[in-house]
Amino acid sequence: MRSIHSESPAFNTGVLFRCIDTPATAGVRLHGYQVKIDPSPSRRWTGGIFDDYGRNWLWLYTLAADEPARTACKFNEWSRIRVEAIGRSLKVRVNGSPTARLADDKYARSPIAFKIHSFGADGDAALERNLIHFKNVRIITENPARYALPMNLPAREADPTQKFLPKP
């Protein structure tokens, strides 16, 4: 993905990749890796990776201890996000800064989806401004390794001790 822009500090979204369909009884339609897009000043999670699994999530690569990664996305400005998913290697950059490098193979290959949160604005002008804009989205499927960039973050395996966290 090339560029994102958010105008609301309370709104967050994400890009799911290597998604799988969920059972008909599930509360959501897809599960998969999600690159979080959340430039809110209180969280600043844009560029982290988690397993989006219905009513729960599992952080696979958190930005909690990486201040440069947490500040790479600027609120209310256009930001560039690059996601590379080649084999077990998952890499994310925000505005050129490395934010995540994960080695995992839970989801091997599948579709990409833009996360859409539903909420009732009910005429509330502030809630109706909760927008995220995407532009210049590019998806490379032919020989993606040719476009891979080196990254100075060490690859981290998904932490098997992580616990699922309920979504707020």
**CATH number for the domain including 94?**
2.60.120.560
Asked if residue 52 belongs to a domain, the reply is yes
165 lies in a domain?
no
Residues paired with residue 132 on neighbouring β-strands, in sequence order: 6
Tell me if 166 is assigned to some domain.
Answer: no
> Could you identify the residue written with the tokens 């969920």?
22
pTM: 0.83
Residue 168: predicted pLDDT: 45
- Surface-to-core class of residue 156, CB atoms within 10 Å of its CB (0-12 exposed, 13-18 middle, 19+ buried): middle
The answer to whether position 127 is within a domain reads: yes
pLDDT tens digits for range 107-124: 887 788 887 665 556 666
In whole angstroms, give the CA distance from residue 50 to residue 39: 16
User: Is residue 164 assigned to a domain?
Assistant: no
Percent of the chain with pLDDT over 90: 31
State residue 127's pLDDT score: 60
Spatial separation of the C-alpha atoms in residues 138 and 151, rounded to whole Å: 20
Q: Which residues are CB-contacts of 142 (< 8 A; sequence separation ≥ 6)?
A: none
Note down the domain range covering 96.
3-149
- The structural domain count of the chain equals 1
Q: Residue 29 and residue 23: Cα distance in Å, rounded?
A: 8
